[in-house]
Amino acid sequence: MKSNLSGANYIAGSPSTLASDYFFGHNATTGEPMETRFAEATSDEIHAAVFAASQAPTLSPAQRADLLDAIADELEAIGEDLTELAGLETALPAGRLNGERGRTTGQLRLFASSLRDGLAQEEIVDGALPDRQPAPRPEIRRRLIPVGPVAVFGASNFPLAFSVAGGDTASALAAGCPVVVKAHPLHPGTSELAAQAIYRAMERTGTDPRWFSLLHGSVQVGTHLVNHPVVRAVAFTGSHRAGRALFDLANRRPQPIPVFAEMGSINPLFLLPGALAERGDALATGYVESLLMGVGQFCTNPGVVIGIDSPEFTAFQAAVAERLDSAPIGTMLSAGIAANYNQTVDRLNGAVTRLTNREEAQAPRLFATTAKAFAEHDELREECFGPAAIAVTAADVDELLAVVAALDGQLTGSIHLAESDAAITGGLATELGRKVGRLVFNGFPTGVEVGHAMQHGGPYPATTDSRFTSVGTQAIYRFLRPIAIQNAPSELDLPF
């Protein structure tokens, strides 16, 4: 690898070396520590990063667009080094990581082009009515302005697309908010390479480096960052436990701030009788592919598949189990994540029927249960992060709807149907729609599109704020707030 890693925190462009605590990244496949020693950010460094962000000069939408394009260019310019290092740190395969880099640069460039097209710059104007009785109406112009410095938490499972230069950073910068990233400790080297790319892009575009800082560390660093009075919003993708902890912290501040935590879900997938009869085997193939994608470490992994009791649904389950038993066993993102997965499937082993045969650590699993048991036992409705799923058999349509009623909020819900399922579809889709951020028909939820219409979010506990998305151009609205400007002198030029 040609790239140089310093292991330092980067504060407004400069490496900072106040640390007394250090940690190492690990080779996710071998478990061995890697070469570079990374510095845990101190409280002084956290303060310096946030304070610098609060002092960053305003950027126009055009300047932000140029910066985002330049970051995309610089991420590409790193070449193979970036995906090789990410591969070592995460055990994700090269094809997946190249795709993820494409997604990352694609979303940076989508924000850039959308800003040039006027994204989030629309104004609402109530014109002056000087002759209105009993009192004249002044002109009021409503526009959106940046909320201020944003703290972004890198996610373990997307070392590029939901990390240092990922969607949260892209949307915050697009909104005009300076960013302080807390790198995920499972890929600190990849994080540093991305941060270096951001600074090169800033240098090339003449952007003040106070617009970005990178901090390494663990829970204490994150806590300190969320509690810093100058931070104005938090973006996070990860576990429910960590997301809720950040949400609670932020709400207990003297001045509470919004936390946009995307915390995953079980993404129920409904197979209607007509669809199973028409294409049960193809559904099994598609389902297994979706379930195994990224070793099941996707927020939209379809962890629950539901059908009505029938020979076709039984055959579907058998086909899925057989394919899972012969699939290659992937390497998970870290030993800790693998251990969690193994514990969860062991617990499910005791609670429900297992349809797969393999018992090796990290092997895919399919379990089976009834709609009644699924509705009654909370632990069956909790996310299992990894390639395991539960097949839920409903006795009839009423039980299918009872499964929906038992669901918590979800990122996605999917329905596979055929024309003959028309009598069931409307009612099911309506009830399922009330629980999810994205409703998928005849498709699998993994492979989230980055576009204008995407909603990657959903009612709690899928996220802490169902009114916003963390993927796609609408993600910019997380970091903007309206201001009404009344009767402004025409010559006044406000920078926001």
Using CA atoms of 193, 199, 202, 203 in order, give the dihedral in degrees to the nearest 10.
-120
Return d(Cα 292, Cα 324) in angstroms, integer: 8
User: Phi, psi (5° rounding) for residue 425?
Assistant: -60, -50
Residue 236 Cβ vs its own copies, minimum distance, rounded to whole Å: 15
Residues 6+ apart with CB under 8 A from 126: 137, 139, 140
Strand, coil or helix: 256: coil
3-class SS string, 97-144: HHHHHHHHHHHHHHHHHHHHCCCCCCCEEECCECCCCCCCECCEEEEE
Q: Give the Cα separation of 268 and 381 in Å (integer).
A: 10
Minimum distance between the CB of residue 412 and its own copies, rounded to whole angstroms? 9
Other C-beta atoms lying within 10 Å of the C-beta of residue 482 = 9
- Return the half-sphere exposure (C-beta side, CA atoms, 13 A cut-off) of residue 213: 28
> Out of 74, 100, 177, 299, which one is annotated catalytic?
299
Active site residue 491: no
Give 292 or 436: the residue with its C-beta nearer to its own copies: 436
CA 37 to CA 3: how far, in whole Å?
A: 15
- Considering only CA atoms, which of 75, 53, 424 is closest in space to residue 209? 53
Shortest distance, position 402 Cβ to its own copies, whole Å: 16
CB atoms within 10 A of CB 495: 9
- The residue among 325 and 465 lying less far from its own copies, judged by its C-beta, is 465
Minimum distance, C-beta of residue 493 to its own copies, in the bound complex (Å): 7
Q: Shortest Cβ distance from residue 25 to its own copies (Å)?
A: 31
Least distance between its own copies and beta carbon 481 (Å): 4
Cis peptide before 136 (omega within 30 of 0): no
Q: How far are the Cα atoms of 288, 293, 313, 314, 431 from residue 375, in angstroms, in the given order? A: 24, 27, 19, 20, 15
Please identify, using beta-carbon distances, which residue of 81 and 286 lies nearer to its own copies.
286
Local structure of residue 471 (DSSP, 8 states): S
Give the largest Cα separation in the chain, rounded: 81
Burial of 57 (0-12, 13-18, 19+ CB in 10 A): exposed
- Per the listing, tokens 């994540």 go with 337
Pick 131 or 493: Cβ nearer its own copies? 493
Query: By the 8 A CB rule, do 271 and 305 touch?
Result: yes
Q: Closer to its own copies at the Cβ: 26 or 416? A: 416
Residue closer to its own copies by CB (options 366, 411) is 411
Catalytic residue among 262, 312, 383, 399: 262
Helices (H), 334-470: 335-351, 371-376, 397-406, 422-433
- Give 327 or 485: the residue with its C-beta nearer to its own copies: 485
480-486 and 9-11 strand pairing: unpaired
Q: Which is nearer to its own copies, 2 or 467 (CB)?
A: 467
Question: Residue 305: enclosing H or E segment and its boundaries?
Answer: strand 304-308
Q: How far is the CB of 495 from its own copies (least distance, A)?
A: 6
* Residue whose CB is less far from its own copies, 37 or 93: 93
Minimum CB distance to its own copies, residue 111 (Å)? 15
Cα dihedral 132, 138, 143, 146, rounded to 10, equals: -150
CB of 32 to its own copies, least distance (A): 34
Alpha-carbon gap, residue 85 to 28, rounded angstroms:
11
AA identity, residue 420: S
In the residue annotation, 299 being an active-site residue is answered as yes
Distance between CA atoms of 317 and 20, rounded to whole angstroms?
A: 53
Query: Which residues participate in catalysis according to the annotation?
Result: 262, 299
